[in-house]
């Protein structure tokens, strides 16, 4: 595995945190049957993937 460059670390950490938060929201929304919570989780994962796509070519 390659090491990440210094300024990339905060962006990667934020992207992983956003993705993990999205997965937690998806699981909670599915468990509780709350579609709005499920939708928020999906949008958080999508935002995390877009950050990955745009920031890291």
Q: What is the pLDDT of residues 26-35, one digit of tens each?
A: 999 999 989 9
Q: Is the model more confident about 10 or about 41? A: 41
Global pTM value? 0.79
Contacts of 45 (CB under 8 A, 6+ apart): 18, 19, 22, 23, 26
**In whole angstroms, what is the distance from residue 24 CA to residue 20 CA?**
6
What confidence tens digit (pLDDT) does each residue in 48-57 have?
Answer: 999 888 876 5
Q: Which two tokens stand for residue 6?
A: 């210094």
Q: Which two tokens stand for residue 12?
A: 């990667």
3-16 burial, b if ≥16 CB within 10 A, otherwise e? eeeeeeeeeeeebe
């Amino acid at each position: 595995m390659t090491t990440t460059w210094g300024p990339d670390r905060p962006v990667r950490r934020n992207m992983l945190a956003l993705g993990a938060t999205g997965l937690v929201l998806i699981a909670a929304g599915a468990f509780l049957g709350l579609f709005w919570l499920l939708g928020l989780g999906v949008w958080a994962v999508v935002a995390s993937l877009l950050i990955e796509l745009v920031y890291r070519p």
